[in-house]
Amino acid sequence: DIQLTQSPSFLSASVGDRVTITCRASQGISSYLAWYQQKPGKAPKLLIYAASTLQSGVPSRFSGSGSGTEFTLTISSLQPEDFATYYCQQLNSYPAFGQGTKLEIK
């Protein structure tokens, strides 16, 4: 089974900051990676798929990069509505999620 490890697990930042979350796969997954955002009590929302393609309607301050085993999600300038938990997901084999990164307000 392919394991995904996100870092950091917790991140404290301020409005306007640039933040980066990393997702590492235990084996190569090409570009079969997505990022989801989840707010408390809500369903996850697809942000980025195929490692770097922005889902329709998602603000351009979100971007994704990487291939193989290392991937990043970057938020260029944090907005108040971005404080949430972020998950990566691989689709190279049976779907699997990373453990999550909780982004909190500093």
Partner 1 sequence: QVQLVESGGGVVQPGGSLRLSCAASGFTFSSYGMHWVRQAPGKGLEWVAFIRYDGSNKYYADSVKGRFTISRDNSKNTLYLQMNSLRAEDTAVYYCAKGQLRYFDWSYFDYWGQGTLVTVSS
Residues near partner 1 (CB under 8 A) are 32, 34, 36, 38, 42-46, 49-50, 55, 87, 89, 91, 94-100
Nearer to partner 1 by C-beta: 19 or 90? 90
The CB-of-14 to partner 1 minimum distance in angstroms stands at: 25
The CB-of-4 to partner 1 minimum distance in angstroms stands at: 10
- Euclidean distance between CA atoms 85 and 103, whole angstroms: 6
The CB-of-86 to partner 1 minimum distance in angstroms stands at: 11
Strands (E), the chain: 4-7, 10-13, 19-25, 33-38, 45-49, 53-54, 62-67, 70-75, 85-90, 96-97, 101-105
Residue with tokens 């990487």: 66
Nearer to partner 1 by C-beta: 35 or 78? 35
